[in-house]
Amino acid sequence: MSEQILIEGLRRGDQAAFTELVETRQSLVYNTVLGLLQNAEDAEDVTQEVFIKVYESIGQFKGESALSTWIYRIAVTRSLEHLRMKKRKKRFAFLTSLFGENNEPLHEPKEFNHPGVQLDNREKGRVLFARIAELPENQRIAFTLHKVEGLSYQEVANVMRTSVAAVESLIHRARQNLRRSLEDYYKQQG
């Protein structure tokens, strides 16, 4: 199904078009969301939310960008919203623990193993993802879209609605921050 026919079908609420969309784009969305959230359960939930959002908002898609670009934007936006919500919940849980209302320990983030990382790189991949999670938001998005999802600088720029030069700068700064963080980590390791 060509993209134009797919979009027309989605606008009509055609179930076959929606099925086609999900089956051809579910990896794209899931991998992007997983890279940002670093949690498989959350990634499954947010991936579902992304497709529901696409289904409900297809009427607002003006066709100025490719359909995939638009879907990436929704995936990134929803992922960031999810991360912010989790942060708020953590803060609230901390406050209630101060007042003795909640004696449960704060949930520590699990170490994340991306299933797509090659076997002999698993350990280092885990260390790297932990550092990626500490990057400033825009650097994290640019780095994840480029390195985890494999988008070119131009494609990343389209998703982030910025220039290629800006993306280059973000990824360069991300690498610098990661390098610094990794140096500290390995120094501590001894």
Contact footprint for other proteins (CB under 8 A)? 19, 22-23, 26-28, 30-31, 34, 43-44, 47-48, 51-52, 55, 114-118, 121, 124-125, 127-128, 147-150, 175, 178-179, 182-183, 186-187
| Closest CB 183 distance from other proteins, rounded Å | 6
Measured from the CB atom, the residue of 109 and 116 that comes closer to other proteins is 116
Print burial letters for 115-127: b (CB count within 10 Å at least 16), e (below 16).
Answer: eebeeeeeeebeb
Measured from the CB atom, the residue of 92 and 186 that comes closer to other proteins is 186
Structure token pair of residue 167: 């993306």
| Closest CB 187 distance from other proteins, rounded Å | 6
Measured from the CB atom, the residue of 93 and 117 that comes closer to other proteins is 117
**How many C-beta atoms lie closer than 10 Å to residue 95's C-beta?**
11
Print burial letters for 147-158: b (CB count within 10 Å at least 16), e (below 16).
Answer: ebbebebebbbb
| Closest CB 99 distance from other proteins, rounded Å | 33
Structure token pair of residue 111: 């170490």
Measured from the CB atom, the residue of 86 and 125 that comes closer to other proteins is 125
| Closest CB 186 distance from other proteins, rounded Å | 5
Alpha helices in 12-163 (DSSP H): 15-37, 40-57, 67-98, 122-132, 137-143, 153-160
